[in-house]
Structure 1
Amino acid sequence: MTDNPIRTERRGAVLEVTLDRPKANAIDLKTSRIMGEVFRDFRDDPELRVAIITGAGEKFFCPGWDLKAAADGDAVDGDYGVGGFGGIQEMRAMNKPIIAAVNGICCGGGLEWALSADIILAADHASFALPEIRSGTVADAASVKLPKRIPYHIAMEMLLTGRWIDAEEAARWGMVNRLHPGDQLMAEARALADHLASGPPLVYAAIKEIVRDAEGATFQDTMNKITRRQYQSVDVLYSSEDQMEGARAFAEKRDPVWKGK
Structure 2
Amino acid sequence: MSSSVRVAVDKDTGVAVVSLDRPEKLNAIDLAMAEELAAVWRAFRFDDSVRAVVLTGAGERAFCTGIDRDAVVPQPPSPYMVDDPLLRVGPKANDLWKPVVAAVQGLACGGAFYLLGESEFVVADTTAAFFDPHTPYGMVSAYESVLMAHRMPYGEVARMMLMGTAERISARRAHEIGLVSELTAPGEALGAALHCAAVIAGYPAQGVQGTVRALWAAKEAGRAPAFAQAPHLIALGNLPAERQAELFAARRPGAFRVR
Distance 1:157 1:79 in 2: 24
Asked if the contact 1:29/1:79 (under 8 Å) is kept, the reply is: no
Indicate which of 91, 116, 132 corresponds to 1:88. 91
AA paired with 1:210? Answer: A
Q: Distance in 2 between matches of 1:185 and 1:217?
A: 31
Note the C-alpha offset of 1:159: 1.3
Alignment-derived partner of residue 18 in structure 2: 17
CA distance in 1, matches of 2:63, 2:150: 23
Query: Aligned runs of 1:15-94 on 2, under 5 Å?
Result: 15-21=16-22, 22-69=24-71, 73-75=72-74, 77-78=82-83, 80=85, 84-88=87-91, 90-92=93-95, 94=96
Structure 1 residues without counterparts, runs of 5 or longer? 219-261
AA partner of residue 2 (structure 2)? D
- What does 1:166-177 align with in structure 2 at a 5 Å threshold? 166-177=170-181
Write out per-residue CA displacement over residues 181-212 of structure 1, whole angstroms, 9 at most, x where no aligned residue: 12222221111111111012111121122222
Deviation at 1:157, TM superposition (A): 1.1
Using structure 2 for the length normalisation, give the TM-score: 0.76
With a CA cutoff of 8 Å and minimum separation of 6, indicate the structure with the bigger relative contact order.
2
**Partner SS state of residue 54, structure 2:** strand
One-letter code aligned to 2:186: G
2:91–2:97 Cα contact (<8 Å) kept: no
Give the match's secondary structure for 1:182. Answer: coil
- Computed over aligned residues only, the root mean square deviation of the Cα atoms, in angstroms, reads 2.0
Structure 2, unpaired ranges of 5+: 76-81, 223-259
Residue aligning to 1:192: 196
- Quick one: which amino acid aligns to residue 15 of structure 1? A
Give the fraction of aligned pairs with identical amino acids, expressed as a percent: 31
Decide which structure has the larger Cα Rg and report it. Answer: 1
The 1:125/1:117 distance shift into structure 2, 3 A limit, reads: same
CA distance in 1, matches of 2:83, 2:220: 27
Tell me the matched-pair count. Answer: 211
Distance 1:217 1:30, change over 3 A: closer
Q: Would you say the 8 A contact 2:90–2:114 is kept in 1? A: no
Q: Specify the SS of the correspondent of 1:51.
A: strand
Tell me the SS of whatever aligns to 2:108.
strand
Structure 1 length-normalised TM: 0.75
The CA distance in 2 between the partners of 1:216 and 1:60, in whole Å, is 29
